[in-house]
């Protein structure tokens, strides 16, 4: 317990320096020896990935974000919807996993983002029912899986939906509109309820930005809302030459994760992309195995633009 507190204090110092602007883009800070590269993992349940297994705890992961417990006509908790096809995971086994000690439970979502936004009130109502049939895990919060970016114009309807959901509550945000770090944080601040936290999707998996720019976005969000209301989703995939996506390699993912030290970082997503082989590769990577390796820490303003 004392070691964890010491590690967190070191990581918090790195974040505080970045947020205060006390260092510049060329400054460096020492990575705390033994600091985990990730604290959380995301699980996106589907029919083929309804019983996740992994070794993510080797990286220090003890938090699980379940993307949803109902999506379209599938449900992953008994009693979730009478007309849906139930894919019941082994929730007691999942609850006992070391990487799932603290669980943020996703509510009702849709694979089609456009449909989900158009029916946000309906999804909120489905979500209210799902809370009553929650899975038997250590619930630390709830996640509403209708993802938000600046192309969504009707934020009044979203706020009404969020107001109907339980707390602690989280949503995820991303920026495909190239607003830049400060512009994006300002936009989120205009509509985000004061008691809702955000997961920032870094965009590195789809090559929309580099990790340094993604870190600048996270810093800008934390500057607005405080670091406890901001967590980072690190995309653990990369474009495949033949279309679709493939798992990131350790040499692609380790520098990405190291850039976000000081934030709670969640790997997206574990069952699809972060295999035991990749975990072992991350543990052997020089950023992990060389104590005191220097890392750049961006200033609070950063570049503020996508690469």
Per-residue pLDDT tens for 25-84?
A: 322 233 355 689 999 999 999 988 999 999 999 999 999 999 999 999 899 998 877 667
> Apex CA 240: angle with CA 62 and CA 174, to 5°?
55
Nearest residue to 305 (alpha-carbon basis) of 190, 122, 182: 182
Among 27-31, 161-165, 283-287, the range scoring the smallest mean pLDDT is: 27-31
Q: Write down the pTM of the prediction.
A: 0.84
Between 101 and 82, name the one with better pLDDT: 101
Q: Is the pLDDT of residue 194 over 90?
A: yes
Q: Is the pLDDT of residue 257 over 80?
A: yes
Is the distance from CB of 175 to CB of 148 less than 8 angstroms?
Answer: no
How much is the pLDDT for 79? Answer: 83
Q: Measure the CA–CA gap between 139 and 29, rounded to whole angstroms.
A: 35
How much is the pLDDT for 123? Answer: 97
Q: Measure the CA–CA gap between 240 and 296, rounded to whole angstroms.
A: 29
Phi and psi, residue 113, nearest 5°: -60, -40
Q: Walk me through the domains of the chain, giving residue ranges and CATH numbers.
A: 35-150+159-290 (3.20.20.80)
Mean pLDDT of 106-110: 97
Tokens of 250: 């350790």
- Write out the DSSP string of 84-141: SEE----HHHHHHSGGGSEEEEE-EE-SSHHHHHHTHHHHHHHHHHHHHT--SS-EEE
Residue 303 pLDDT level (bands cut at 50, 70, 90): very low
Element (H, E) at 29: strand 28-30
Q: What percent of the chain has pLDDT over 70?
A: 81
Mean pLDDT of 121-126: 96
Between 47 and 10, name the one with better pLDDT: 47
Q: Measure the CA–CA gap between 204 and 211, rounded to whole angstroms.
A: 7
Mean pLDDT of 73-102: 89
Q: Is the pLDDT of residue 85 over 90?
A: no
Phi and psi, residue 231, nearest 5°: -130, 155
Map tokens 């800070």 to a residue: 29
How much is the pLDDT for 72? Answer: 94
Tokens of 144: 């509403």
Among 44-48, 94-98, 220-224, the range scoring the smallest mean pLDDT is: 44-48
Average pLDDT, the chain: 85
Between 150 and 34, name the one with better pLDDT: 150
């Amino acid at each position: 317990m004392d070691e964890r507190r010491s590690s967190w204090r070191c990581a918090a110092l790195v974040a505080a320096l970045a947020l205060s602007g006390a260092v510049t883009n060329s400054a460096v800070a020492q990575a705390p020896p033994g600091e985990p590269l990730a604290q959380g993992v995301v699980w996106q349940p589907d029919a083929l990935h309804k019983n996740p297994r992994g070794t993510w705890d080797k990286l220090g992961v003890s938090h699980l974000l379940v993307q949803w417990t109902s999506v379209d006509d599938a449900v992953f908790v008994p009693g979730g919807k009478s007309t849906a096809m139930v894919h019941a995971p082994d929730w007691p086994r999942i609850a006992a996993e070391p990487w799932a000690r603290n669980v943020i439970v996703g509510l009702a979502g849709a694979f089609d983002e456009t449909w989900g936004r158009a029916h946000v009130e309906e999804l909120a109502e489905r979500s209210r029912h799902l809370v009553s049939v929650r899975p038997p895990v250590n619930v630390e919060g709830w996640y509403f899986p209708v993802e938000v970016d600046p192309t969504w114009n009707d934020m009044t309807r979203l706020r009404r939906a969020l107001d109907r959901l339980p707390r602690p509550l989280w949503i995820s945000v991303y920026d495909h509109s190239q607003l830049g770090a400060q512009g994006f944080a300002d936009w989120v601040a205009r509509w985000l309820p004061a008691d809702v936290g955000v997961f920032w999707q870094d965009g590195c998996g789809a090559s929309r930005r580099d990790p340094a720019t993604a870190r600048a976005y996270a810093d800008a969000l934390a500057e607005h809302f405080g670091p406890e209301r901001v967590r980072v989703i690190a995309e653990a995939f990369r474009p495949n030459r033949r279309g679709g996506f493939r798992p990131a390699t350790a040499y692609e993912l380790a520098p990405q994760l190291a850039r976000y030290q000081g934030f709670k970082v969640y790997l997206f997503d574990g069952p699809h992309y972060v295999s035991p082989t990749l975990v072992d590769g991350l543990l052997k990577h020089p950023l992990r195995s060389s104590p005191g390796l220097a890392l750049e820490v961006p200033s609070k303003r950063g570049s503020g633009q996508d690469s």
